[in-house]
């Protein structure tokens, strides 16, 4: 089933809305990237049953962006990932009064393929894009369509961005009859996006964005022993992005903030900063830090309550708990005339004590992971 993936979640083409206006490309760009994502194992003392081994995900990505005629461009994105490891099925109270995990076996293996096509028509001061995305794995299929537009104003000092998208997902859990899982369910999502980018001066740009998404259908996790969530969810997010170039340092500062809120009772804050330091004409080093914090959902429980009726909303999913997380990373880029290569390393740690409104009890499934990516771009 589709597992939230920090790498692909940030690079999904289906819901993407460009931060700043993009003119028609004047050359063809071919990009490939390989990423390894490795979660740290759960401490054995926190596992009551199942494997303590967590997920390892290997991701390959391909991108083609090319001009077509005088006013069109075409983008093709392909992602393929393989996944293995164990995931939490449930959380119960141990004999010591602490929460313990019931994990799946370590034999879970899955693969996913995602393909996106985006056609863009470029005018003198605007562009309109239409995108189609298809994602397939053993137990999950998703289809999405997105339309977005950008309009430059005020002598190209301002850019308005608008977007709308729709996705339909089919869920067919494996071993449904053996474990009493739902056999087939569906969920739908609709999203609206708006953004405004403003050039403040020759060295500074500010972007403000608003996203609203509505989900309905089956929103529970079919692989949990007891996971009952509302069949509707409305969420919105406000984002701020600031870019400042420093001439005397030959470097740029990136500052991002995002506030998220939904009607499940969750709100979150995300702060991200990166320093893009150039060395000569070919080398760039980008250290960056990201902080994330959220409170728990209204129906979150630290341990599963099997005494409640199955019609009562409850979930012990750690992603619905109150916690915080830090990501520290560095990216190295070497650029030549018609190609560039990049290497990025990221370390993620999470804990309830890092959050602004933590749950009463720390969830034993909270993650730590390492992620490494290597990318190569060609221009011709």
Q: What average pLDDT does range 96-113 have in this prediction?
A: 85
What are the DSSP E strand ranges found in the chain? 29-39, 47-49, 56-68, 72-85, 88-93, 99-103, 108-122, 126-137, 140-153, 158-171, 185-201, 204-217, 232-246, 251-262, 267-279, 283-294, 323-335, 339-351, 368-379
First to last CA, the chain: 38
Any domain includes 183? yes
Show contacts of 52-56: CB within 8 Å, 24+ apart.
52/86, 52/103, 53/85, 53/86, 53/106, 54/85, 54/86, 54/87, 54/367, 54/369, 55/3, 55/83, 55/84, 55/85, 55/86, 55/87, 56/83, 56/84, 56/85
Measure the CA–CA gap between 236 and 267, rounded to whole angstroms: 10
Any domain includes 121? yes
What pTM did the predictor assign? Answer: 0.91
> ∠ at Cα 119 (206, 126), nearest 5°?
45
CA-wise closest residue to 292 among 270, 311, 309:
270
pLDDT computed for residue 16 by the predictor: 35
Residue 40: alpha-carbon gap to chain centroid: 19
Q: What average pLDDT does range 318-329 have in this prediction?
A: 97
Q: What average pLDDT does range 354-361 have in this prediction?
A: 89
Lowest mean pLDDT among 86-90, 131-135, 180-184, 284-288: 180-184
Bigger pLDDT: 237 or 18?
237
- Please report where in the chains the tokens 């000092």 appear, as a residue: 157
Query: Which CATH number characterizes residue 98's domain?
Result: 2.40.160.40
Any domain includes 351? yes
Any domain includes 1? no
Query: At 22, is the pLDDT very low, low, confident or very high (cuts 50, 70, 90)?
Result: low
Lowest mean pLDDT among 12-16, 83-87, 271-275: 12-16
What range does the domain containing 360 cover? 6-379
Q: Is the pLDDT confidence value at 182 over 90? A: no
What Å distances lie between residue 37 and 81, 170, 343, CA to CA?
10, 26, 14
Q: Is the pLDDT confidence value at 72 over 90? A: yes
Q: In this structure, are residues 132 and 335 in contact, taking their beta carbons and an 8 Å threshold?
A: no
Measure the CA–CA gap between 137 and 4, rounded to whole angstroms: 14
Q: Is the pLDDT confidence value at 344 over 80? A: yes
Any domain includes 165? yes
CA-wise closest residue to 16 among 263, 195, 186:
195
Measure the CA–CA gap between 368 and 41, rounded to whole angstroms: 9
Q: In this structure, are residues 57 and 5 in contact, taking their beta carbons and an 8 Å threshold?
A: yes
Mean pLDDT, the chain, integer: 91
Three-state DSSP class for residue 45? helix
Any domain includes 210? yes
Q: How many structural domains does the chain have? A: 1
Cβ within 8 Å of residue 301, ≥6 positions away: 314, 315, 316
Q: Is the pLDDT confidence value at 192 over 80? A: yes
Measure the CA–CA gap between 56 and 212, rounded to whole angstroms: 32
Pairing of strands 99-103, 47-49: parallel
Question: What are the structure tokens assigned to 182, written together?
Answer: 């739902």
Query: Per this entry, what is the length of the chain?
Result: 380
Bigger pLDDT: 37 or 16?
37
Most confident of 89-103, 147-161, 167-181: 147-161
Query: At 18, is the pLDDT very low, low, confident or very high (cuts 50, 70, 90)?
Result: very low
Question: What are the structure tokens assigned to 219, written together?
Answer: 């929103």
What order do you get walking across the sheet with 88-93 strand by strand? Answer: 47-49, 99-103, 88-93
Measure the CA–CA gap between 121 and 126, rounded to whole angstroms: 8
Q: Is the pLDDT confidence value at 9 over 50? A: no
pLDDT computed for residue 176 by the predictor: 65
Measure the CA–CA gap between 168 and 190, rounded to whole angstroms: 9
Bigger pLDDT: 50 or 293?
293
């Amino acid at each position: 089933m589709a597992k939230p993936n920090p790498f692909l979640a940030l690079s999904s083409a289906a819901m993407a809305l460009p931060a700043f206006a993009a003119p028609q490309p004047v050359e063809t760009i071919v990009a490939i990237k390989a990423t390894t994502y490795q979660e740290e194992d759960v401490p054995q003392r926190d596992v009551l049953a199942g494997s303590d081994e967590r997920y390892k995900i290997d991701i390959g990505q391909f991108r083609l962006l090319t001009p077509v005629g005088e006013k069109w461009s075409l983008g093709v994105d392909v992602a393929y990932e393989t996944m293995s490891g164990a995931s939490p099925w449930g959380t119960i109270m141990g004999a010591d009064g602490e929460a313990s995990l019931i994990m799946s076996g370590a034999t879970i293996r899955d693969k996913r393929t995602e393909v996106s096509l985006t056609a863009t028509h470029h005018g003198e001061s605007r562009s309109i894009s239409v995108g189609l995305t298809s994602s397939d794995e053993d137990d999950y299929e998703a289809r999405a369509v997105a339309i977005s537009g950008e309009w430059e104003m005020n002598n190209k000092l301002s850019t308005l961005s608008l977007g709308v998208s729709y996705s339909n997902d089919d869920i067919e859990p494996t071993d449904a009859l053996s474990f009493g899982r739902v056999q087939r369910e569906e969920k739908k999502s609709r999203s609206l996006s708006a953004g405004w980018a403003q050039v403040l001066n020759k060295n500074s740009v500010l972007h403000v964005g608003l996203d609203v998404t509505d989900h309905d259908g089956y929103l529970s996790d079919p692989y949990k022993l007891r996971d009952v969530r509302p069949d509707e969810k409305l969420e919105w997010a406000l984002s701020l992005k600031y870019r400042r170039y420093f001439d005397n340092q030959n470097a740029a500062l990136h500052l991002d903030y995002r506030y998220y809120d939904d009607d499940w009772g969750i709100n979150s804050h995300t702060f991200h900063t990166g320093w893009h330091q150039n060395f000569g004409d070919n080398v760039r080093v980008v250290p960056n830090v990201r902080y994330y914090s959220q409170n728990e959902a209204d129906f979150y429980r630290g341990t599963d309550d099997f005494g409640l009726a199955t019609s009562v909303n409850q979930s012990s999913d750690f992603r619905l708990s109150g916690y915080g997380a830090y990501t520290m990373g560095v990216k190295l880029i070497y650029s030549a005339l018609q190609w560039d290569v990049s290497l990025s390393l990221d370390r993620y740690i999470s804990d309830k004590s890092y959050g602004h409104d933590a749950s009463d009890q720390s969830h034993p499934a909270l993650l730590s992971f390492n992620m490494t990516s290597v990318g190569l771009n060609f221009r011709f």
